[in-house]
C-alpha cells in the first residue's frame, strides 16, 4: 500500500489555502485538499509519483471518517505538518473577513447573496462570534485533533502562517521536502517556484473569488468575466481563461492589495470553447471600451461604501475585550476557546518551544484580571 509522505493539520484561517496552493506549485510535491475521502486518497496515491500529502482541516473529520482515512494511509516515516497562528489573531481575521463579505454583499460588490452571509444570519457581531466561531469545529481543529496524533508519530514540522508568506514559503516547503526525502523517478521536475509578491488570500484580495462579474451578451449568449490580479492567475489556475490585462489605475479599479496589471478572466462562457469565448469577449470589449471602465468604476464606488460599513464594525482586541467585560457568558466562551489552544500547544510533545502568541496571552491576562 502506498503511504502519504506528509499530513497537514490546518486550522481554519491559518494558511490552509496558501499551503495547498503553493504545495501543488512546488517541484515534486502534490497535496490533496481537506475534503478527500478514502477513495480519492487511494486514487491520488496511485496516480502520483511525487511527495504526497493530504490536509485535515476540521474536527468534523473525526466523525465523517476523513481523519481515520488519512491516518490509515500514513506510515512510520510520514511527517505531520502543523499550521498555526496566534488564535486571537486568527479569530479576529476570520470574523473581520465575514464582516467584509457582509458589507460587500450589502453594497453590491460581491455576487454572494446577502441572506447567506453569516453576519446577516446572526444579526450582530457578538452573536456571530459566540454561536458560529468560538465553538466551530474548523476553528478548533488544533486542540481537538492534535492530541489524537501524539501516539502516531514523533515527526512534526510546525509552520506559523508567516512561514507561508511570499518571502518565506519557498524555504519552508524546501525544508519540508528535505525532511521527508526525495523519491526516485518522480513525475514532476523541480523547475523552480514562482509565486506572487502579494498575499493572494489576504482579506483585501478576496474580491477575486466573490466579486460580481461583468456580464456581456453576444447573439443571445451571455458571457461573464471577473477581475483578478495578473500575478495571481497562475496560482488560481486561471491562466487559460485570461481575456486581457490592464493597468487598474487606467480603469479606476481600486480593490485589492497587489502590484501590477489586473487581468480579466472568463467565468461563464456557455457552450463555447474557451479560446472562442475569449475571442468573442475581447471583440466586445474592444468595440465598447467604456463597458470595462464603467464596470470597474462602479464596483470601486460600491467597494468604498463597503469599506465604510466594514470600518464601523471592524473587530479589534479592545472591542473583543469590551464585549467580554459586558457579557460573562461570552467571556467564558472566549476564555475557553483561547485557553484550549494555548494548553494544547504548550503540552504537546512536538513543541520544543511553544509559540509566544502575544495577542492571545495578553487578552487571556486581561480576561483573567477582569474575572478576578
**How far is 26 from 360, CA to CA, in rounded Å?**
33
Task: State the pLDDT confidence band at 1, using cuts at 50, 70 and 90.
Answer: low
pLDDT score for 186:
46
Give the mean model confidence (pLDDT) for residues 273-278: 91
pTM for this prediction: 0.90
- Dump pLDDT digits (tens) for 188-235: 444 456 888 999 999 999 999 999 999 999 988 999 999 999 999 999
CB contact at 8 A, 238 and 265:
yes
Under 8 Å CB-to-CB from 134, ≥6 apart: which residues?
91, 333, 334, 336, 337
Task: Calculate ∠ Cα 281-287-291, nearest 5°.
Answer: 70
pLDDT band at 181 (very low <50, low <70, confident <90, very high): confident
Task: Give the pLDDT confidence of 317-344 residue by residue, as tens digits.
Answer: 999 999 999 999 999 999 999 999 999 8
What was the pLDDT predicted at 10? 86
For residues 47-74, give the mean pLDDT. Answer: 88
Give the largest CA-CA distance in the chain.
71
Q: Is 187's pLDDT higher than 60?
A: no
The predicted structure's pLDDT at residue 185: 43
pLDDT tens column, 339-359: 999 998 888 877 777 788 999
Look-up: residue for cell 475569449? Answer: 278
Percent of the chain at pLDDT > 90 equals 66
Give me the numbers of helices (H) and strands (E) for the chain, helices first please: 17, 9
Query: How many CB atoms sit inside 10 A of residue 237's CB?
Result: 11
Quote the distance between the C-alpha of residue 360 and its chain's center. 21
Q: What percent of the chain has pLDDT over 70?
A: 95
Q: Mean pLDDT, to the nearest integer, of 23-36?
A: 88
Beta partners for 81?
8, 157
Q: How far apart are the first and last CA of the chain?
A: 56
Check residue 331 and give its pLDDT: 94
Taking residues 252-271, what's their average pLDDT? 94
- Beta bridge mates, 246: 262
pLDDT at 261 over 90: yes
Higher pLDDT, 365 or 59: 365
The residue count for the chain: 372
Q: What is the pLDDT of residues 119-178, one digit of tens each?
A: 999 999 999 999 999 999 889 988 888 888 776 767 888 899 999 999 999 999 999 988
Which 3 state secondary structure label does DSSP give 16? helix
Is the separation of the CB atoms in 186 and 5 below 8 Å? no
Amino acid at each position: 500500500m502506498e503511504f502519504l509522505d506528509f499530513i497537514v493539520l490546518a486550522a481554519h484561517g491559518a494558511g490552509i489555502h496558501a499551503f495547498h496552493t503553493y504545495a501543488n506549485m512546488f517541484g515534486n510535491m502534490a497535496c490533496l485538499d481537506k475534503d478527500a475521502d478514502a477513495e480519492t486518497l487511494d486514487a491520488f496515491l496511485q496516480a502520483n509519483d511525487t511527495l504526497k500529502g493530504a490536509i485535515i482541516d476540521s474536527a468534523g473529520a473525526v466523525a465523517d471518517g476523513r481523519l481515520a482515512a488519512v491516518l490509515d494511509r500514513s506510515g512510520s516515516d510520514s511527517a505531520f505538518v502543523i499550521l498555526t497562528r496566534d488564535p486571537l489573531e486568527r479569530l479576529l481575521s476570520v470574523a473581520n473577513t465575514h464582516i467584509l463579505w457582509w458589507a460587500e454583499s450589502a453594497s453590491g460588490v460581491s455576487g454572494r447573496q446577502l441572506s447567506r452571509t453569516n453576519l446577516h444570519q446572526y444579526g450582530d457581531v457578538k452573536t456571530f462570534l459566540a454561536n458560529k466561531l468560538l465553538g466551530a469545529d474548523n476553528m478548533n481543529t488544533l486542540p481537538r485533533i492534535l492530541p489524537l496524533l501524539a501516539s502516531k508519530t514523533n515527526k512534526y514540522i510546525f509552520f506559523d502562517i508567516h512561514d507561508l508568506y511570499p518571502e518565506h514559503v519557498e524555504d519552508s516547503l524546501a525544508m519540508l521536502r528535505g525532511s521527508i526525502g526525495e523519491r526516485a523517478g518522480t513525475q514532476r521536475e523541480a523547475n523552480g517556484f514562482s509565486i506572487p509578491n502579494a498575499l493572494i488570500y489576504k482579506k483585501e484580495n478576496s474580491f477575486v473569488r466573490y466579486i460580481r462579474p461583468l456580464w456581456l451578451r453576444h447573439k443571445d449568449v451571455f458571457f461573464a468575466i471577473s477581475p483578478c490580479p495578473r500575478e495571481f492567475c497562475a496560482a488560481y489556475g486561471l491562466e487559460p481563461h485570461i481575456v486581457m490585462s490592464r493597468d487598474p489605475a487606467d480603469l479606476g479599479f481600486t480593490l485589492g492589495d497587489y502590484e501590477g496589471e489586473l487581468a480579466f478572466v472568463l467565468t461563464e462562457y456557455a457552450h463555447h470553447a474557451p479560446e472562442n469565448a475569449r475571442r468573442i469577449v475581447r471583440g466586445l470589449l474592444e468595440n465598447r471600451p467604456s463597458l470595462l471602465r464603467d464596470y470597474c468604476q462602479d464596483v470601486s464606488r460600491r467597494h468604498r461604501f463597503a469599506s465604510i460599513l466594514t470600518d464601523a464594525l471592524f473587530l479589534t482586541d479592545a472591542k473583543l475585550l469590551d464585549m467580554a467585560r459586558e457579557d460573562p457568558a461570552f467571556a467564558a466562551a472566549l476564555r475557553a476557546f483561547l485557553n484550549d489552544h494555548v494548553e494544547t500547544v504548550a503540552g504537546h510533545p512536538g513543541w520544543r518551544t511553544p509559540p509566544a502568541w502575544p495577542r492571545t496571552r495578553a487578552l487571556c491576562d486581561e480576561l483573567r484580571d477582569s474575572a478576578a
